[in-house]
Amino acid sequence: MTEEIDNELFPPLFKRYFETVINKKLYGTGISASFIPFLIEIGYTNGISLKDLTERVNIDKSLTTRVVKSLIEKNLAENTSSCKREYSVRLTEDGKILRTLAISAIKEFHIVLTEDLTEEETAVMRTVTEKIRKKINDYSRNERNE
């Protein structure tokens, strides 16, 4: 029974550890770990709609809207759309700098987390993680289409 509980608790434990480590790296920037997926995805484009960002981050539209508004207020992103009711979000120079910091923090976190794994264990972890990611994306896509 303990093993089952440990396995069930792993995702929240992982999330808490990730947020603790990343938030220490982001201290003083005005953002937390929850902003990182948005910064990363916006940074891949030169203007992304809220709909596309919502799908890429795999989160509900209302949360996407709140985070984007916050990023704009913090001068980390801007809406370059000429229409007030539409968004074409891109990062400002400050946003690009913070995105680079966030990616660096994630890489450091990954190194610390996997430093005791063998190459084979790391490869297995990547394979399992990709399968889980695909399952979550498929589930989320089906939820949005219902």
SS3 content of the chain, % helix, strand, coil (to 5): 70, 5, 25
Residues 77 and 121 in one domain: no
Give the pLDDT band of residue 1 (cuts 50, 70, 90).
very low
71 in Cβ contact with 95 (< 8 Å): yes
Whether residue 91 is found in the same domain as residue 125: no
112 confidence band (pLDDT: 50, 70, 90) = confident
Cα distance between residue 3 and residue 27, in whole Å: 35
Counted domains in the chain: 2
Token pair for 49 = 């709609």
What pTM does this model have? 0.80
73/97 same-domain check = yes
Higher pLDDT, 87 or 12: 87
pLDDT score for 36: 92
If asked whether residues 10 and 66 sit together in one domain, one would say: yes
Domain that holds residue 56: 2-115
Specify whether 107 is located in the same domain as 128. Answer: no
Does position 25 have pLDDT exceeding 60, yes or no?
A: yes
Are both 90 and 129 inside the same structural domain?
Answer: no
Structure-model confidence comparison of residues 76 and 142, the more confident one:
76
Averaged pLDDT, 101-115: 88
Give the integer Cα–Cα distance in Å for 34 and 110: 17
* Across 99-119, average pLDDT: 89
Instruction: Please indicate, yes or no, whether residues 77 and 23 belong to a single structural domain of this protein.
Output: yes
* pLDDT tens figures, 55-100: 899 888 899 999 999 999 999 999 998 887 888 999 999 999 999 9
Shared domain for 80 and 123, answered yes or no, is: no
Statement to judge: residues 31 and 14 lie in one domain: yes
State the average pLDDT for the chain: 86
- Nearest-10 Cα torsion for 124, 128, 129, 133: 160
Instruction: Sort 23 into a burial class: Cβ within 10 Å, 0-12 / 13-18 / 19+.
Output: middle
Q: Are residues 125 and 100 part of one domain?
A: no
Q: If pLDDT is split at 50, 70 and 90, which confidence band does 3 have? A: low
